[in-house]
Amino acid sequence: MIWEDWGILKVCFPTPLSKIDNPLNDNIDVCVRTQDGKQYTLVFITPDNLKTLMESEGETYIHPDFKFIVVKSICEEHILGALNEIATDSDLLQQLGGD
């Protein structure tokens, strides 16, 4: 995996963004490493992909333990914007991406 330096985080995309067919209806894992060496895996998803997954699974609601981060589209700009907010709160980072 290739780690990119994104300020206070190092970020790795196990699936390259270039492999996303429809950035408005998809989800992606993003690995992040903080300056103190802690590593987390966060899952980003679009609103349309939530609906697609719910329909394919026959679900009518999203479980409260749902730990996906909803972004408008799967692109570097939106993921980076969310990460910049999340990275400032270590408790939130642990909640969303911890084991």
Determine the pLDDT at residue 1.
62
pLDDT grade for 99, boundaries at 50, 70 and 90: low
pLDDT, tens digit (0-9, with 9 covering 90-100), for 7-60: 667 889 999 999 999 999 999 999 988 888 888 899 999 999 999 999 999 999
43-48: long-range contacts (C-beta < 8 A, 24 or more apart)?
43/67, 43/68, 43/69, 44/68, 44/69, 44/70, 44/71, 44/74, 44/78, 44/79, 44/82, 45/69, 45/70, 45/71, 46/70, 46/71, 46/72, 46/73, 46/74, 47/72, 48/24
What does pTM read for this prediction?
Answer: 0.86
